[in-house]
Amino acid sequence: MSKIFGYARCSTHEGKQDVERQRRELKERGATDIFMEYESGCKIDRPELNRLIAELKRNPQSTLIATEVSRITRSTKQLCEIVELAKELHLKLIIGGFVVDCTGPLDSLTQGMLMMLGVFSEMERNMIVDRIRSGIKHAKAKGVKLGRPALTIADIPKKVTEHFDLFRNKEINKIDYARLCGISRPTLNKYIAIMVDK
């Protein structure tokens, strides 16, 4: 029995962008297995996309839905690879309002139109990057400081400062310290550097 898969993606975390709108739209269009992630569309190796591709290989003749081509990828090369996979597995791709039926032979016009969508998606991304670079250059020329403000002792969570003496006295190691505070090792390292210097 063929399945209907959906894929939703945003470049940044939910605080800035939200895949929920995409998820709702995919569900309305019949997707029952929806894969969602926050990754750049230029990144080839994406955990949820990899999981989706593995599922598609286990379920040939299924349907894959995305709200637009840029959600699947911003790379024309990767899009070509996905189309080849769709042809090999006889999938139906539904991208926005564009249906690419690979259950039978794919006509050249449809494939060409899909590739053009991929080219436009990649070009749009490149234009965004150019605008960002231009904005950064302009801001630097005006003397604006960019990036996150430097961390201070006041930014360190209370739990980290409370257990610092245990770590300093070698009663716990970094792994236990990070686990105790519920933070990652790299984050803990930043906090330790500030507390050691204070």
Q: What are 138-152's pLDDT values in tens digits?
A: 777 877 776 666 777
Under a CB-based contact definition with an 8 Å cutoff, are residues 9 and 23 in contact?
no
Tokens representing residue 169 in the block? 């006295």
The per-residue pLDDT for 96 is 87
pLDDT category of residue 13 using cuts at 50, 70 and 90: low
Show Cβ contacts of residue 37 under 8 Å, excluding neighbours closer than 6 positions: 8, 9, 19, 46, 47, 48, 49
Inform me whether the pLDDT recorded for 111 exceeds 80.
no
Catalytic residue among 2, 11, 40, 121: 11
pTM, rounded to two decimals: 0.61
Inform me whether the pLDDT recorded for 16 exceeds 60.
no
Angle, vertex CA 109, rays to CA 105 and CA 32, nearest 5: 60
Number of Cβ within 10 Å of residue 29's Cβ equals: 13
The owner of tokens 């995305």 is 66
Percent residues over pLDDT 70 in the chain: 92
pLDDT category of residue 190 using cuts at 50, 70 and 90: confident
Contacts within 8 Å (CB) and 24+ apart, 162-165: 164/192, 164/195
Does residue 45 sit in helix, strand or coil? coil
Inform me whether the pLDDT recorded for 127 exceeds 90.
no
The per-residue pLDDT for 147 is 65
The per-residue pLDDT for 17 is 58
For the question of residue 11 being annotated catalytic, the response is yes
Inform me whether the pLDDT recorded for 79 exceeds 80.
yes
Half-sphere exposure of 127 toward its Cβ, with a 13 Å CA cutoff?
A: 6
Q: What is the mean pLDDT of the chain?
A: 85
Inform me whether the pLDDT recorded for 34 exceeds 90.
yes
The per-residue pLDDT for 43 is 86
